[in-house]
Amino acid sequence: MTTTETTSTKTGACLCGAVRFESEKVPAQAGICHCEQCRRWTGVALMGVTVPTDSIKWDGAEHITRLQSSEWAERAWCSKCGTNLFYRVTADNEWAGGTEIPVGLFDDPNGFEVKSEIFIDQKPDTFGFSGEGRKEMTRAQCVALFSDLGTN
């Protein structure tokens, strides 16, 4: 994967599809935040891509609910299904102008390179993905397992 700062057009949506988005300026770089708020908001860490706010076209914006989660930022989610949609700095500072969209919301979440991790001192020791010895299952294996569980 190249480390140049390229952008592409990408689309995405919440779980139920009530909120969809598109941007022609999605960078190839992603970041991870381990702060307590992001961990509680996502259940893990926030792996997101900072997209220029003015480049995002929202469809279903009437289903977007916002919360001013700190003195400097807001978080938003779909009011129908609860999917976390974005984190955005609202304070007038160097971080303003971008909307952090979780990587998993993109229709094609491939091609991103993690370039930064913040609040690394708050990263739980269980968040490492390298190493051996853990059980790995494919999508097909999981579907088969859960299908078998429902046939008692």
The CATH code of the domain that includes 141 is 2.170.150.70
Residue 120 has a pLDDT of 86
**pLDDT tops 70 at residue 69:** yes
- List pLDDT tens digits, range 87-102: 998 888 777 889 999 9
Among 27-36, 37-46, 51-60, 88-97, where is mean pLDDT lowest?
88-97
Residue 88 has a pLDDT of 94
Contacts of 65 (CB under 8 A, 6+ apart): 76, 77, 78, 79
Distance CA 110, CA 70 (A): 31
Across 74-78, 112-116, 140-144, the highest mean pLDDT is recorded for: 74-78
Residue 129 has a pLDDT of 61
| Tokens coding 20 | 């969809």
- Residue 1 within any structural domain of the chain: no
- Residue 135 within any structural domain of the chain: yes
**pLDDT tops 90 at residue 49:** yes
Mean pLDDT of all residues in 67-74: 90
Residue 83 has a pLDDT of 98
Strands 56-59 and 64-68: what pairing? unpaired
pTM above 0.85, yes or no: no
User: With b meaning 16 or more CB within 10 Å and e meaning fewer, what string describes 79-92?
Assistant: eeeebbbbbbbeee
- Residue 2 within any structural domain of the chain: no
Mean pLDDT of all residues in 143-152: 66
Could you tell me the residue range of the domain that residue 73 belongs to? 7-149
Residue 136 has a pLDDT of 65
- Please tell me the total count of domains within the chain: 1
* Percent of the chain's residues with pLDDT above 70: 88
